[in-house]
Amino acid sequence: MSLLSSRALATELDTCEETIRRLWRRGSIPAYRVGRHLKFDLGEVRSALRDQDETTASTGAVEPNFDALDAA
């Protein structure tokens, strides 16, 4: 398992660090605390976002489109 910083994850998902932090704070993506830092497993994050996207689609709620998930 390779853990990424919020900056590296934001780059992978083509978004900003604040979006990553916001998703983590609301419990949408998992993270690990390493000291004072948050680290993210890219596979776990992609899976969580896919699950969230499928749930959102079934409820009709409007959420961001994470096209970057399919690009990798």
Give 41's DSSP letter: E
pLDDT for 15-68, tens place per residue?
999 999 999 999 999 999 999 999 999 999 999 999 887 766 666 655 666 666
Query: Which residues, 6 or more positions from 33, have their beta carbon under 8 angstroms from its beta carbon?
Result: 39
Q: How many CB atoms lie within 10 A of CB 32?
A: 12
For the chain, domain boundaries: 3-59
Alpha helices by DSSP H, 1-72 = 6-12, 17-25, 42-59, 68-71
Confidence of residue 1 (pLDDT cuts 50, 70, 90): confident
User: What is the pLDDT at residue 54?
Assistant: 74
What CATH code is assigned to 3-59? 1.10.10
Is pTM beyond 0.85 here?
Answer: no
